[in-house]
Every structure is written in structure tokens, then in C-alpha cells.
Copies of this chain bind each other. A is one copy, B any other.
């Protein structure tokens, strides 16, 4: 197959990497500084991980892949997530059983690896591949910063006392901008990451041609207010809007609103946030909806979800504007042509791009082996560290998942009235 754009290897600068490494590690520490040791241990469900585990795992990743030497073999066993090539590991559902090493010991482990990486950068001990893996390790830790926040939110939500991770002022609703459409013209387009253009994961590459059918993508996300209309129209009671698996999931789980929402005695809705339980805000993007729900909403609206290619093509009209603010950790009100706040479900299954080549070595297990039974989300969320995401970024989750910050924007075959 043809590779549309010729790529040259990027040159990585150790000094810049050292700064990025330090900043990334510091952000994790900052996010965790509000947590007690108790907060860091439990695992709220199999697909989530304890905060302490996240902290140790990202550290082990640097030790294993960049430094190439794991001082304590127990760390390899305990903190390997899923790398089969590295050997056996703590079973995923039992990550919450690890009370030793303690949080203090994990903090020390982090410091030790920080020191060793920093030293290795200074002494020039890291070859080009190690530098690449260090860059990837920073991106990896950023991913875990978001995971850590969303997993911890899920854990807190199971505490009936509605605890608060961080205090913040009450929310101010705003007028929601009317919906505009970004046209995506019919024809051959190009999507995907150019390896020479800066860091990207293997799953974003290669940049490649695709055929766009000619369509429109909404210039803003679906709001809480719009979701309430869907609910009022019987959205959770009318199977005609739902995928079959989605309807079965709804029946099984009893879904009748987005994740974390609760109908109060006065009939209003609240939602659980990292700042405790709060009334939902109509002008915010709807969040914690599954692929099934996003699809059903779009069907109800007479629209559909965009494909990855449509989304990425339309995204040239948009800017990032609502990434992680560690003092907020919650989306702002919806704005036009603005990315962030919530990840946006696309209609596209998470599959390899034509010409996809996994990373070499252990890193080959980073992305490719998850390319089944998941859907791509694009953009980024209010939990995504600044600078982590990009327009070619492919986030992915299974269709029923709701605990990440997932929302949606609509697409349409034509700009006319919805059917």
C-alpha cells in the first residue's frame, strides 16, 4: 500500500524530554496530593485500577522500557498491566488487594525511578529508542492521569456519603450556542498521524487516504439539556432507537439516565462529580454516556454519530479549549468549535488503519492487541492533561462503558431536517 506522505525520523531532544518527564511526574503527584493512603488502595471494578497501582504502574513502565532494568522483581509482577512478553502478573481483578508496598513505599519508588531516569538523561545513557520510549512513557503517564481521575471518581461514587475530591464554586449555566454544521465534502481525504510531525501512538499511524461520503458534523457537543429532551421523549423506554445489544444492556442494568445521574425527590436530576453530588447543568456537555446511549440519542435526533474520518476531517475547524484544570476536573459549558470537556463517541470500531505497524518490542502490546469490540472516541475531556490529546488521537472503549468522560456530537448525511 502507498504511504501518502514521506516521513523522516524525528530527532528527540534529551533536555526537552527531561522537562516533559519532570512536568508529567509532577502533575501526577499534584493530582494525588489530595488523597489519603486509604483513597489510593481500593479497586472499584475490574476495569478500573487503584490510584496507588496507577502511580506504581507508570513508574514501572519507565523502569522496564526505558531503563531496561527493574530493581525489584516484585514490582514487575505487581505493576505489569498486560504485557504478556514480560511474564506473569497480578491478576487484574486483584489489584485492589495490594496494600503492600504501602503508599509511602510507592512514593519512594517513584522518586527512585525519577532520579534514575533523570540521571540517565543527563549522562546520555539512553539511546534513541530509549528516548522514544521515554516520550511514550510520558504520554502513557498522562493517559493514566486521566484513568486515575475517572477510576477514583467511580470509587468515590460508591461511597454513599458523596465525598468530595476537590472543592470548587457552584456551576453557572450559560446559554447554549445554536447548533451549526461543519461540511465534510465528498472525496478522497487524508487522516492519521504523520510520524515525522511529533509524537503519536502507533494506532494513529500511518497517515492514509480515505473516501469521505460527503456529510456534515456538528460544531458543538450534545448538551445535558438536549439529553433531558431525549429522556423526556422516552429515550430510555423506546427500543426503536437502540442497537439490540444496547437495549439488552439497558434492560439488564436499568439505565434510565447517564452514569452518575440520580433523580431526586423533587424530580430534579443531580450527578456525582469530583466535587461531590451536584445538580446537572443544562449547558454542559452530556457526559458518562455509553456508545449505545450515544447511538440511541442520535437515532432519536434523526442524525447519526460521525465516523472517525469525518470527525478528523471536520476537526480542522476546531481548537482544544477544555482540557484538564486540576482545580476543576469537570467540563465547562459547551462552546462551538471547541474540543475537550468530554470525549466524543464516533461510529467507528477501533480497528487498525491500513498499513498499521505496531511498535517494536514490548511496546507492540500497547495498542494493537485491543483492536476488537471497542469503539473510537475522539477529542479529549476535562480530565485529559493539557497537550496529551491531538486531533489524530484514537481513544477507545467498549460500547457499554460509561465511567470515562464520554459524550458525543452529531453528524448528518445532509444538512436538511432530521428524519
Give A residues with C-beta under 8 Å from B: 1-2, 36-42, 44, 52, 74, 77-78, 82, 84-85, 90, 94, 96-100, 102-103, 155-156, 158-161, 163, 186, 188, 208-211, 213-215, 239-240, 242-247, 291-292, 295, 304, 307, 347-349, 351-352, 354-355, 364, 369-373, 399, 413-414
Contacts and interface: CB of A to CB of B under 8 A. Distances in A.
A286 B351 CA distance: 24
Contacts of A188: 188, 211
Contacts of A355: 213, 413
A414 B1 contact: yes
Contacts of A246: 372
Contacts of A36: 37, 99-100, 102
Contacts of A245: 370, 372-373
A244 B370 contact: yes
Given A211-B211, A214-B2, A42 B372 contact: no
B211 A209 contact: yes
A352 B306 CA distance: 12
A41 B102 CA distance: 12
A41 B372 CA distance: 35
Q: A1, A37, A39, A99: which has the most chain B beta carbons within 10 Å? A: A99
A354 B85 CA distance: 40
Contacts of A244: 82, 369-370, 372
Contacts of A186: 1-2
A214 B242 CA distance: 36
Nearest to A45: B97
A126 to B, nearest CB: 26
Given A2-B186, A213-B208, A100 B352 contact: no
B214 A1 contact: yes
15 contacts: A1-B213, A1-B413, A2-B186, A37-B37, A38-B99, A38-B102, A39-B100, A41-B99, A82-B244, A96-B96, A99-B155, A209-B211, A244-B370, A247-B369, A355-B413
A347 B351 contact: yes
Contacts of A74: 160-161
A399 B98 CA distance: 29
